[in-house]
Amino acid sequence: MVPSTDVLGRLSRALGLDEPTAREVRDLLVAVEAAPHAVETPSTEVPYGTPLDEVARSAGLIRSFQCVVLPAMLQSAEYARHVFDSAPDSTPEGVGRAVAARVERQSLLYEPGRESVFVLTEGVLRTWPGSPALMLAQLDRLLAVESLSTVRLGVIPWSRAVPVMPRHGFTLCDQAAVVVETFRGERVLDGSAEVAAYEDTFTRFEEAAIFGSDVRELLLRVMEDFRDLGGPTTR
């Protein structure tokens, strides 16, 4: 049985835990709750590839942290194809439909009145499927998206320590739900305690990230590295 965040807070105070220790315990609770074997009363596990896109459509604020795979809203068509193709029980027809739907829903990034904040580790930029050419096109897309007034793109460079050890990526949709991707599907968590815990974790990752011109310089450096691996000289 996994305690709720409220119960955990009362236990921490009763035990006299200092704030750093109490925060570490809360982070561990978040990881346990998101694990594939955890039992979640307020969550729903659904087939891979569609829940995040559907939940994002109704959200005015999207906040996504990723430590392995690029956020769904930033994936190029070819990158997304590799993501869906690696899902359990994927079929060519299903992958094609999922890619088309994901790319179509990325139009939300351009809609006035919406805000999207993405925080990645540098490892995400350097974990690549397919070919260097695919990643050059994907990184070029990130440069374009980063310039949008509706988007903030941050990266935690490898030269900075992370404030929390990343265990998985997650996406906050407003203050209503969190979507966690696993190998077998996507879990939608909508309990207020879970959402609050993920919001606190996201804020800590966001504070460690670089933005603006610094992140553009990093993207360009990573692109040079992919060119050295054999990609075409497109820039």
- pLDDT tens for each residue of 156-171: 999 999 999 998 999 9
Give the pLDDT confidence score for residue 149 in this predicted structure. Answer: 95
Count how many Cα atoms sit within 13 Å of the Cα of residue 173 in the half-sphere of its side chain. 23
Q: In sequence order, what are the beta bridge partners of 45?
A: 187
Token pair 């610094």 is at which residue? 214
Task: Say which residues have a Cβ less than 8 Å from residue 129's Cβ, sequence separation at least 6.
Answer: 79, 82, 83, 86
Token pair 């559907």 is at which residue? 54
Condensed to tens digits (0 to 9), the pLDDT of residues 129-139 reads 999 999 999 99
Find the helix or strand (DSSP H, E) in which 117 lies. Answer: strand 115-121
**Residue 153 in this model has a pLDDT that exceeds 70:** yes
Residue, of 19 and 31, whose pLDDT is higher:
19
Give the pLDDT confidence score for residue 18 in this predicted structure. Answer: 66
Lowest mean pLDDT across 67-81, 117-131, 152-166, 174-188? 174-188
Instruction: State mean pLDDT over 181-207.
Output: 90
Give the pLDDT confidence score for residue 89 in this predicted structure. Answer: 81
Nearest to 4 by CA among 193, 187, 179, 176: 193
